[in-house]
Amino acid sequence: MESTLQGQLKSWRQYLHQRPETGFEEIHTADYVAKILETLGLDVHRGIGGTGLVANLTAGDGKRAIGVRADMDALNIAEQAPGRAHASLNAGKMHACGHDGHMSMVLGAARLLAERRDFNGTVRFIFQPAEEHGRGAKAMMADGLFERFPVDAIFGAHNMPGMPAGTFATRAVGIMASEDNFVIHIKGRGTHAARPHMGADPIVIASQIVLALQTIVSRNLDPSLQAVISCTEFITDGIRNVIPSNVIIKGDTRSYSEAVQALLETRMREISVGICRTYGAECSFEYTHEFAPTVNSEQFVDLAVNAARNVAGDAAVDPNVQPMMISEDFGAFLQAVPGNFIFIGNGDVPERGGIPLHNASYDFNDDILMTGARYFAEVARLALQVGINKS
C-alpha cells in the first residue's frame, strides 16, 4: 500500500508545483486539496482566513483533538529549471520553499489515518494560506480557527535543504526567530555631484547609519542572546551626476524575545535619528513586527522526537538542533496553542534536494514525501493515544 501511496504523493506534489499561487490567492490550490480530503471522507471546511481550510477526521470516542498544519502559498520567483517536466506553469511564481511538498505530506498523513483509523480522538488537518507574508496564521485565527476547531496541540514541519534526506531535527523552546522589518528614510539636500558642499549628502549619512546599526548586536546586546540586523535595500533618487535628496534603507531583524525586539527598535531609531541630526538631515523610522518567534512547547518535544524515531530510526533524529534565525508563520499558532515544529531533511547534495530554499532552481525532494506523511500520521497517533498533558 505504501508504494502506491508514494506514487500518489508524488503526483499530488508535482501537480501543485506546476500551479503555484501566492499568499491569499491560493484558490485553485485550496480547491484541489479540499477535493482530495473530501474523497478521503474527511469533513472539510473552506474559506477560513481567506483561502485556508480545515479538514476533520475522528476515530474512537476520544475527546482530545490535535492539529496538523501545512502551508499552501508559493513565491513571486520565476522558476529556472530547464528540462524539469513539472516546472511552474504560472509565470513569475514558483514553489521555491517546498509548500507543495508540505501539503502532499499532510494529505498523505490524512490518507494513512483515514484508512487505518488507529487513533482515538480528532485530527484537524489545517491548510494555511500566506505563510510567506507572515499573515496567514493570524488571518485564520482572526476568523475563529481555534474557537471553531479547538485543538489541544498543533504540529508542523518544514523541509530543510542541507540536512540529509529523511532526517529530522527539533528542539525545546525557540527553534526559529521572529522577523521585524524596518524602513529608514533619510531626507538630505540634493546638489550637483561636483558641488557636494552645497548639499547634505544622504548617501554618506545613510552609509554611516548602515555601519552603525551593526554595533547594536556587538555592543548593546548581551552576548548570550541572539539577534541579526540586516540592511537589504538602499534606494536613492539620485543619478550619475546628481547627489540625491533622499535615501531609503530597508531591511529586517531577527531575534527570540520581546525584550530583544524592543532593544533593537529603540537603538536603531536612536542611531538613525542621531546621525541624521548630526549632518543636518531629517529622518523617519518605521519598525514593524512581521513574524513571531517559533517557540516549541517543552511537553511536546519528546512526543515529536519519538514519532520521528519511530519513522526514521534513532540515528536520523536530532532532538536538540541549534536554533535558526529564519522565521516561520507557525510561530503565531504556537502563541495560541502548544505544539511542536520539526525540520525534515530535504537532501544535502544539489541534485537531490540540496538547493537552498527561495532559490529559483529549488525543488522539493519527492524521496521524503512518504517519510513526512508517516511522521505526521505517527505524531497524531502518539498524541491521541498517550493523552495530552495540559499543565
Residues assigned a catalytic role: 73, 131
Q: Is residue 158 annotated as involved in ligand binding?
A: yes
d(CA 54, CA 22) in angstroms, rounded, equals: 19
Q: Is residue 97 annotated as involved in ligand binding?
A: yes
Q: For the purposes of burial, counting CB atoms within 10 Å of the CB of 282, is it exposed (0-12), middle (13-18) or buried (19 or more)?
A: middle
The packing angle between helices 2-18 and 369-386, to 10°, is: 110
d(CA 351, CA 60) in angstroms, rounded, equals: 44
Query: Which residues on neighbouring strands pair with residue 169, listed in sequence order?
Result: 318, 343
Give the cell for residue 52: 485556508
373 alpha carbon, distance to own chain's centre: 19
What secondary structure letter does DSSP report for 200? Answer: B
First to last CA, the chain: 39
d(CA 290, CA 326) in angstroms, rounded, equals: 12
d(CA 67, CA 246) in angstroms, rounded, equals: 48
Amino acid at site 171: R
Q: Is residue 26 annotated as involved in ligand binding?
A: no
Q: Is residue 95 annotated as involved in ligand binding?
A: no
Q: Is residue 133 annotated as involved in ligand binding?
A: no
| Residue ranges at the known binding site | 97, 99, 132, 158, 358
| Residue ranges at the known binding site for Mn(2+) | 97, 99, 132, 158, 358
